[in-house]
Amino acid sequence: MAAADIITKVGGDELERIFQGEVAGLLKRPNPRHFPGAQPVSFARQHIEELKAQDYFVCEKTDGIRYLMYLTSDDVSPEPGAPPERTPVVYLIDRKNKYYYVPRLRFPHQENPPKKYDNFHVDTILDGELVEDRYPDGRSTIKFLVFDLLVIDGKDLRERTLDKRLGYLKQFILQPYKNWLKDFPEQRHSQAFVLEDKKTEFSYSLPTMFHEIIPQVKQLHGNDGLIFTCKGTKYESGTDRHILKWKPPEENTVDFLLHITWAGEPEDEDYDEMPADLGLYIYHGRDQDYSRVGSLYVTPDEWEKLKAQDEPLQDSIVECFLEDTGAVNGHSSNGNQVNGHGEKRWRYHRTRDDKNEANHVTTFDSVKISIQDHVTQQDLLDHADDIRTAWKARDARRPSRPQ
């Protein structure tokens, strides 16, 4: 079962605005319209020294769908005429800041006495991604892999360091949730999906990441790199320079706005012909201000496949990678033959239905630097010992905790 089959888009702009206002209130944000999640910067060669200078955690970059999870409540009458009861409700928030209702999902407090589970977390915001693990025997399981905790029961944790936030997550969210499912295993089968924490390692544990963890997850739900997150910094909405996204150099991508220009009159959209230009535009953040940075290269066969996806193409958001043409021959979008001699060109990877805007120009610039720097897996492995030595040296200088 796909994730789209188990979550439901919140109906009506007015209701969605109410939820956006509630989340903005919990996060003390003046503008409720913007997605409040943190966004990484692309890994450049200079960041290798950053990993030596500060403590970072690392996890694999899952090929899933990014969501914030909002735990709230609603007043529901169990039967007509009965007084309303406070019922927990869970929503997912995508990068378009759209809300999706998740049925039958609950996160209980650890009660005293144990195994009572009468109270559930509300006014709580988690950060994570939805994935579908596929097993060799044909089974599949949808999971929400959580990697951060912003607010718990109305208490804002974003000013606390990552290690403290993860401590709250494991003690007050994950452990009671696991205990509840253990005591009431029938609940597991009625849940829309299961919650798991994302496996996190110290930044110097790169051999473990590359040789053990990534090969395992690639078989389940795919992987396209690593995420390094600084242990000692606060949660920063928007671009966070202390979250580093590393991808193999050949897999660095940019999300563009695709604007198609046709050979005839501007209003004549003739999808049966190759367009005159597949323009790629980057976002500047000022009143939807975009600038053109290049063209998407497609062959005639690829153009036919794009059309066959039966998705809107004009002004869509497309994820692209930069290809070194080498000695490849082909056809440009206007049908002219080109002979590649080491030049680079943007190529289509996928359509980003989960995004309203292209990458910001600053993100575009950082990805270009990542491509130019060409930091490989072996480069990271070569520095793992130095990262570990620097971490241990900082540990030795820290005051010991009182016994």
| pLDDT per residue of the chain (403 residues) written in tens, 0 to 9 | 455 567 888 878 899 999 999 999 999 999 998 999 999 999 999 999 999 999 999 999 988 899 999 999 987 656 676 666 778 999 999 999 999 999 888 899 877 666 677 789 999 999 999 999 988 888 888 999 999 999 999 999 999 999 999 999 999 999 999 998 888 888 888 888 989 999 899 999 999 999 999 998 888 888 889 999 999 999 999 999 999 999 998 888 999 999 999 887 656 677 888 899 999 999 998 666 999 999 999 999 999 999 898 888 999 999 999 888 764 444 444 333 333 345 789 999 999 988 888 999 988 998 888 888 889 999 999 999 999 999 999 999 988 765 5
> What is the rounded CA–CA span in Å between residue 363 and residue 336?
31
- Candidates 380, 10, 401; CA nearest to 208 is 380
Output the pLDDT for position 331.
40
Q: Say whether 44 sits in a helix, a strand or coil.
A: coil
Output the pLDDT for position 155.
97
Tokens, residue 231? 């242990």
Q: Is 61 a catalytic residue?
A: yes
- Candidates 54, 141, 69, 146; CA nearest to 105 is 69
> What is the rounded CA–CA span in Å between residue 371 and residue 360?
17
Burial class (CB in 10 A: 0-12, 13-18, 19+), 325: middle
Output the pLDDT for position 269.
77
Which letter does DSSP use for residue 108 in this model?
Answer: B
Output the pLDDT for position 335.
37
> What is the rounded CA–CA span in Å between residue 348 and residue 321?
7
Catalytic residue (one of 28, 52, 61, 182): 61
E strands, 302-371, are 316-324, 329-331, 337-339, 344-351
Output the pLDDT for position 361.
92
Output the pLDDT for position 245.
95
Output the pLDDT for position 288.
67
Helix count and strand count (H, E) for the chain: 10, 20
Full-model pTM = 0.83
Burial class (CB in 10 A: 0-12, 13-18, 19+), 259: middle
Torsion over CA: 189, 193, 197, 199 (sign): positive
Output the pLDDT for position 266.
59
Mapped to the 3 state alphabet, what secondary structure does 200-223 carry?
Answer: CEECCCHHHHHHHHHHHHHHHCCE
